[in-house]
Amino acid sequence: MKKQLLIFLGTMTLLVAGCGEEESKGVEPAVMTDALFAVMKADRTNYTKLIVKRMGPQGVNAVMPVEHWKDVDNGIPLPAQMFRAGSEAVADMTDSFTYSLQSLWPINSQNAPKTDVEKAGLEYIAANPGMNYYGEETLGDTTYFTAVYPDVAVSDACTQCHNEHKDTPKTDFKVGEVMGGVVIRVPL
C-alpha cells in the first residue's frame, strides 16, 4: 500500500508539473499531506471497526486487543499502537515525510505535543471540528510544512478504552469527538 501511495504521489507530481503555463515544482504540501492523511485515516478506521470492534473487550477466538499486547500470548495491538508501528516503519523507509498521533489529553506522555505548531494545531482542531490545521515550522536546519488533522473517535471501542484507562487525563470522550490529531510533516 505504501509503495502504491508513493507511486501515486510521484504520478501526481508529474501530472501537476505538466499543467498550466508556469512550471510547477510538484505537489503542493497541503495536497500531499491531505492524501497521506486519507490513507492513514482509512487504515486506522478500518482496523478499529473491522478488527478491534468486532472482537470486543474480551477478544474472540483467543485473540484480544490489549495495551500490553506483547506480554500476552493472544494479544494484538490497539489502533494507536498499529498507527505508531506504521509511522516507525515509514520512518525506516523514507525521509519524505513523518507522521504521528498526538493529543492534548494523551494516555501516553510521548503522544503529547512537543512543538508550538503541534500544540497550536491540536488546539485548533479541537475547537474547530472538521477543520484541519496547516503551518510551517523550522526544526534544526530544516523548514517543514506541518499539517494537523483531527483524530475522531470512530467507535465506542475508542471512547471506552480512553475514558476507562488508568492514566487518562480525560474521561468523557464520546463517539464522533476529536480525541487528538494526526501530525504530518513534509520538509520544504
Q: What is the pLDDT of residues 117-161, one digit of tens each?
A: 999 999 999 999 899 999 999 999 999 999 999 999 988 888 888
Looking at the chain, the number of H-run helices and the number of E-run strands are 6, 6
In this prediction the pTM is 0.72
pLDDT of residue 59: 57
Q: Rg for the chain (alpha carbons), in Å?
A: 18
pLDDT of residue 81: 82
| Long-range pairs of 84-90 with CB within 8 A, sequence gap ≥ 24 | 86/40, 86/43, 90/2
The low-confidence residues of the chain, meaning pLDDT below 70, are 1-24, 50, 52-62
pLDDT of residue 155: 85
pLDDT of residue 17: 43
* Whole-angstrom distance, CA of residue 15 vs CA of residue 175: 39
Instruction: Report yes or no: 102 and 183 within 8 Å, Cβ to Cβ.
Output: yes
pLDDT of residue 71: 83
* Whole-angstrom distance, CA of residue 114 vs CA of residue 35: 24
pLDDT of residue 28: 85
Share of the chain above pLDDT 90, in %: 36
Instruction: Report yes or no: 182 and 100 within 8 Å, Cβ to Cβ.
Output: yes
* Whole-angstrom distance, CA of residue 83 vs CA of residue 182: 10
* Whole-angstrom distance, CA of residue 53 vs CA of residue 160: 11
